[in-house]
Amino acid sequence: MSTLLRQHAEQLFAHELDELRKADTEKRPPNWSLSPQAVVTYILGGKLKNGFEVTPKYIGNRRLIEIAVATLTTDRALLLYGLPGTAKSWVSEHLAAAISGNSTLIVQGTAGTGEEAIRYGWNYARLLAEGPSEKALVETPVMQAMRDGKIARIEELTRIGSDVQDTLITILSEKTMPIPELNTEVQAVKGFNVIATANNRDKGVNELSGALKRRFNTVILPLPDNMDEEIDIVRRRVQSFEKIMELPAEPPAVAEIKRIVTIFRELRSGVTLDGKTKIKVPSGTLSTAEAISVVNSGMAMAAYFGDGSLTAADLAAGIIGAVVKDPVQDKIVWQEYLETVVKPRDEWRDIYRACRDLGI
């Protein structure tokens, strides 16, 4: 087993990618490791003709993934958009791994991300000693992707300032990156494209200009459609976490995962699953990713401070931490939910007691 805390997708699923390449008989776009059909199979899972089982990396609407993959075969970039925790970065990483065999050409968008993080930078010691030259140039992941015909990833695009965002316009429309200091340019090789992610909680922070929006095809990744789908996502991700972290704990019962997912779905929607009771909605998103985090945290508690079996007491702190982001507003929401929804459910008495014991 690898000693790395987190392997890149192309490392972790190298065997699956290799099997897909062997079985892939469809036409591949230039510089793609797999055909578009095989990329979709890698993302959504499926059984190959030789009987090999590919595990699903994303559980959701197949058509959305097909649209995303088809977009990357064209001259338009892909923008994965949606609420925090809807697997945008996860899908982006796996798409890059399947298409380019390399998911590491990534720019992390922040308020401090400058133009040089997208276009190119300079080795200033060399620049001062020798003047502008190819050797003094510091390539960015975007420039490297252009040279090699691979996928570049830009995380949290709307966190980047508007003036810096617009440096992408020439790259995406002309497929060229001018380097005026050297009187030259880098032209994109076939296979190059960009996958960007943005979450709609950042809407209005740094809106994309109309010119830049036209260069992207936007695919909105929704929250899971139904309870069973969300439970399956949480179960699979927790199972993976438990294996990587080598936790000395039993796998969580599906019933425990179902309770966490139920709490999150009810608080997200503002109504109980049976539709009979309206409840206040907290300030956080309570996404599937946060449900996964709560169960993972509970597993660690059970492994090292319990008997290895996940209990309500192991989960309580994680649930409260996920729900109560605002110590005033969310605390009121949580206490009301605890008393009006959790307490009357006989089979949830352990969760009620565990949460009450924490005094929040």
Q: What is the pLDDT of residue 3?
A: 80
Q: Measuring CA to CA, how many Å separate 38 from each of 34, 69, 77, 94, 101?
A: 6, 10, 20, 12, 13
* Residue 203 confidence class, pLDDT cut points 50, 70, 90: low
Mean pLDDT across 164-180: 95
Cα(304)–Cα(306) distance, integer angstroms: 6
Q: Which residues of 146-164 are buried (b: 16+ CB within 10 A; e: fewer)?
A: bebbbbbbbbbbbbbbeeb
The CATH architecture that domain 63-220 belongs to is 3-Layer(aba) Sandwich (3.40)
Is the pLDDT at 307 greater than 60, yes or no?
yes
Cα(32)–Cα(99) distance, integer angstroms: 5
Q: What is the pLDDT of residue 22?
A: 96
Instruction: Give, to the nearest 10 degrees, the angle between helix 254-269 and helix 288-305.
Output: 140
| Stretch (H or E) spanning 62 | helix 62-72
Mean pLDDT across 296-318: 95
Is the pLDDT at 268 greater than 80, yes or no?
yes
Q: What is the pLDDT of residue 297?
A: 95
**154 three-class SS:** strand
Mean pLDDT across 307-332: 94
**197 three-class SS:** strand
Mean pLDDT across 40-62: 96
How does pLDDT run across 62-91, given as a tens digit for each residue? Answer: 999 999 999 999 999 999 999 888 999 999
- Tell me the helix, strand and coil percentages in the chain, rounded to 5: 50, 15, 35
Cα(224)–Cα(230) distance, integer angstroms: 6
Mean pLDDT across 111-133: 93
- Structure pTM? 0.92
SS3 string, 76-117, reads CEEEEEECCCCCHHHHHHHHHHHHHCCCCCEEECCCCCCHHH
| Stretch (H or E) spanning 136 | none
Q: What is the pLDDT of residue 158?
A: 92
Cα(159)–Cα(199) distance, integer angstroms: 9
Higher pLDDT, 205 or 317: 317
* Residue 352 confidence class, pLDDT cut points 50, 70, 90: very high
SS3 string, 16-32, reads HHHHHHHHCCCCCCCCC
Q: What is the pLDDT of residue 252?
A: 93
DSSP 244-281: HHT-SSPPPPHHHHHHHHHHHHHHHHTB-TTS--B---
Q: What is the pLDDT of residue 84?
A: 87
* Residue 116 confidence class, pLDDT cut points 50, 70, 90: very high
Mean pLDDT across 189-204: 87
Is the pLDDT at 284 greater than 80, yes or no?
yes
Cα(221)–Cα(125) distance, integer angstroms: 44
Is the pLDDT at 321 greater than 80, yes or no?
yes
Mean pLDDT across 107-116: 94
Q: Measuring CA to CA, how many Å separate 138 from each of 100, 117, 132, 314?
A: 22, 10, 11, 48
Is the pLDDT at 41 greater than 60, yes or no?
yes
Is the pLDDT at 126 greater than 80, yes or no?
yes
Is the pLDDT at 242 greater than 80, yes or no?
yes
CA atoms within 13 Å, Cβ hemisphere of 147: 12
Is the pLDDT at 56 greater than 80, yes or no?
yes
Is the pLDDT at 204 greater than 90, yes or no?
no
β-pairing, 53-54 vs 46-47, is: antiparallel
* Residue 244 confidence class, pLDDT cut points 50, 70, 90: confident
Q: What is the pLDDT of residue 360?
A: 62
Residue-range domain boundaries for the chain:
63-220, 227-357
Cα(300)–Cα(158) distance, integer angstroms: 34
Share of the chain above pLDDT 90, in %: 88
Q: Provide the 10 A C-beta neighbour count for residue 193.
A: 27
* Residue 206 confidence class, pLDDT cut points 50, 70, 90: confident
Q: What is the pLDDT of residue 113?
A: 94
Q: What is the pLDDT of residue 32?
A: 98
- What does the block give as tokens for 70? 């088809």
DSSP letter assigned to residue 49: T
Is the pLDDT at 1 greater than 70, yes or no?
no
Is the pLDDT at 235 greater than 60, yes or no?
yes
